Amino acid sequence: MEVNPPKQEHLLALKVMRLTKPTLFTNIPVTCEEKDLPGDLFNQLMRDDPSTVNGAEILMLGEMLTLPQNFGNIFLGETFSSYISVHNDSNQVVKDILVKADLQTSSQRLNLSASNAAVAELKPDCCIDDVIHHEVKEIGTHILVCAVSYTTQGGEKMYFRKFFKFQVLKPLDVKTKFYNAESDLSSVTDEVFLEAQIQNITTSPMFMEKVSLEPSIMYNVAELNSVNQAGECVTTFGSRAYLQPMDTRQYLYCLKPKKEFAEKAGIIKGVTVIGKLDIVWKTNLGERGRLQTSQLQRMAPGYGDVRLSLEAIPDTVNLEEPFHITCKITNCSERTMDLVLEMCNTSSIHWCGISGRQLGKLHPSSSLCLALTLLSSVQGLQSVSGLRLTDTFLKRTYEYDDIAQVCVVSSAIKVES
Q: What is the pLDDT of residue 3?
A: 45
Q: What is the pLDDT of residue 186?
A: 37
Q: What is the mean pLDDT of each run of 10 residues along the chain (417 residues)?
A: 55 88 76 71 74 69 73 86 91 90 91 84 90 91 92 88 91 88 49 90 90 88 84 78 89 86 58 86 86 81 74 90 91 86 91 89 88 92 91 87 88 59
pTM reported for the whole predicted model: 0.63
Q: Where in the chain is the domain with CATH 2.60.40.10?
A: 10-19+67-167, 304-407
Q: What is the pLDDT of residue 184?
A: 43
Q: What is the pLDDT of residue 178?
A: 85
Q: What is the pLDDT of residue 182?
A: 57
Q: Where in the chain is the domain with CATH 2.60.40.1230?
A: 170-298
Q: What is the pLDDT of residue 188?
A: 39
What CATH number is given for 10-19+67-167 in this structure?
2.60.40.10
What CATH number is given for 304-407 in this structure?
2.60.40.10
Q: What is the 3-state secondary structure (H, E, C) of the chain?
A: CCCCCCCCCCCEEEEEEECCCCEEEECCCCCCCCCCCCCCHHHHHHHHCCCCECCECCCCEEEEEECCCCCCCEECCEEEEEEEEEEECCCCCEEEEEEEEEEECCCCEEECCCCCCCEEEECCCCEEEEEEEEECCCCEEEEEEEEEEEECCCCCEEEEEEEEEEEEECCEEEEEEEEEECCCCCCCCCEEEEEEEEEECCCCCEEEEEEEEEECCCEEEEECCEEEECCEEEECCCCCCEECCCCEEEEEEEEEECHHHHCCHHHHHCCCEEEEEEEEEECHHHCEEEEECCCEECCCCCCCCEEEEEEECCCEEECCCCEEEEEEEEECCCCCEEEEEEECCCCCEEEECCCCEEEEEECCCCEEEEEEEEEECCCEEEEECCEEEEECCCCEEEEECCCEEEEEECCCCCCCC
Q: What is the pLDDT of residue 268?
A: 58
Q: What is the pLDDT of residue 21?
A: 81
The CATH homologous superfamily of the domain defined by 170-298? Gamma-adaptin ear (GAE) domain (2.60.40.1230)
Q: What is the pLDDT of residue 344?
A: 92
